[in-house]
Structure 1
Amino acid sequence: MERHLDSCAVTPYGRGAGSSRVRVFEWLDRIDTDFTVSGYLSLTDAAASRLLRHPPALARAELRLGAIARARPRRLLLHREASPLSRGWWERRLLTSAEFAVYDFDDALQWDLGEGGLARRFAPKAGKARLAVRYADRVVAGNAVLADWAAQHHHDVVVIPSCVAVEDYTPKTSYALHDPPRLGWMGSPHNEASLRLIAAPLTEVHRRTGARLTLVGTTAPSLGGLESFVDRVPWNPDTQRTAPAAMDIGLMPLPTTAYGLGKCGYKLLQYAAAGLPAAASPLGVNGELLSRFGLPAPRTQDDWTSALLALLDASAATREQLGRSAREIAGRDYSYDTWLPRWAAALELPEPGARSAPRGVPAERRPAAGPDRGVPCT
């Protein structure tokens, strides 16, 4: 690691974590340039309880970051944060050590002040995100909300959504309702709490239709009274690929907070990739996705009840039209193949099928309007 590195990617998680997989590994799988990748402990999250179970590996991960900085990479991609223990020192050191450094973020980290525990308060993401934006040569943001904030602190900000590969998802083939109907949600344990925001509508829809809730994520009960009609499926790459096709309606509620506003609509894109009709809070980039997909955008509790009942009461042909249209749009406008030239340009990599541009030539900016100004990640 002490030798000079050509291209290096630093991410806080391993391939099993959605953010790192979608924003780093899936891109690297599609290019010819070799990257040295540091995934810290290569875990699916950086919860303090998990980190403390691996003290030797934790020490090695911190030492590895120092070795990367000393190797002075020619090109560095830093995703989200370098270390959950850092208060900004690693982010600054890594970004300034590289000849050309790109900072990529896909959540409203700038508004994450560390609520939720001592470890998070010790090293809140907000401060290190601000430092990373300041010291990067270029910033890649997952949606326009994040880009607008970053542009207040950096002159070179590119919007690149968190893409999907529709071919990786089992397409939905039958739109006749299951008996009982299946409402569905996929995501991390941390984000599962968003379902509590629509607990009353879900309970009412269950009362009227018998609909059950399929959750793809953790198997640990956490939703109180909703658990009486919840069926839990552990997340793994196979269930992510196949589970949406076995649902009738996808769900993506979001809290009306600054952090929620910056969330990317990745769940909506996953549902769309499978051809699954869905309902979601029209917050931030979700609003644009819902409009493009022609899907309901409930805001109030009554809206959610009405939207879910309307989708369940609709004909199978109507649900099929909604699902197939969303899948077509996702495959055309939010795929890795569509965005790969833009991503490669942002990192000043050779364009697929072309020679590398001279150093210092900036990546082309997308216009203020269009599908890329409002899309994705979880």
Structure 2
Amino acid sequence: MQARLLLEDGTLFTGLGFGAEGVSTGEVVFNTGITGYQEVLSDPSYCGQIVTMTFPLIGNYGINRDDFESIRPYIHGFVVRRHEPVPSNWRAQYTLDRLLKEYGIIGISDIDTRMLTRILRRHGTMKGILTTGSERVEELRERLDASPLLRDQVARTSTKQVFSSPGRGERIVLIDYGAKSGILRELTQRGCDVVVVPHNVTADEIRRLHPDGIQLSNGPGDPKDVPHAVETVRQLLGEYPIFGICLGHQIFALACGADTEKLKFGHRGGNHPVKELATGRCYITSQNHGYTVKEDSIQGTELTVTHINNNDKTIEGLKHNRYPAFSVQYHPEAAPGPFDSSYLFDQFLEMIRDHKRNNPERPRQAQLAETLRGELQYAQK
């Protein structure tokens, strides 16, 4: 089956199709990871994007149930140099081709992904259209021009209902902007009582859950497309310890008065070096984002830069100067990628404990009763 990828600058790639048949548009991006294609496919932060893998062999270890980072993939297309239809791995349960067919995702292989990546690095990410049909190039160009990029990715990927992962430790409200399972996994492994809420949750609804801390998740798209999320975080600053990851980092920055901008081609992969300014230590991190906090916008806010990217010097971490709140642009939960930065979850919990020591709780019995009432009201709503 032939497949074609047309970029908005007119570049046309012709290769072999796998997965679903049809036509799909999206923002064409690239990921530099050597392994972890299943986690990339199932990362909600790729919603609306056509993902190019720079590593040349994809599909060789198949697909399994345990490595998903969300219930389903949200990408709009998958581009590889070589697709391996017959996996060889004891954990494999089915093939990459079957996964893409199940979710209606078009794949294209046998094209020069190195050339495609160089184009994106030189000119920046751009719209593309992927097809397995026989449409004329002129028809594809017209359809591509008429197809705007998605602006509602957070609403598409966020949970629609409140749910909990019970634990006996600190209660964490995880605001789901398109959260990876790895964040929930890291919190529950530490015994946290996690309540996951939708992206459009209000500050009052969170207060009724009486959290010990608030986790702002990763997610897709432009943080300025979710002004309600920014306002919610702004209202909660200073009341509860806050930890933001990726999109949550950008929303935290906007809530504190900083600004964000789009990167030329983004950071996507499991090998990005980040420098911690306080210690000078370098961490190798997993990243997936197309926006960054503008450095000059930090002036005049109560934020301090804590981490920078060693490659392009963009901001990778922030902390609030008065309130117990911090954020990072990268993924400490990894999946895929190194676990160098998982200590940040421990740092978050220690921040919560310090905050509780400095702000003595009300009698535990009264607090539990009010918490149960708040949960019941929120569930009924």
User: Could you say which structure has the greater relative contact order, defined with CA pairs below 8 angstroms and 6 or more residues apart?
Assistant: 1
Higher fraction of helix: 1
**Do the structures match in fold with TM over 0.5?**
no
Structure showing the higher strand proportion among its residues: 2
Which TM bucket (shorter chain)?
Answer: under 0.3
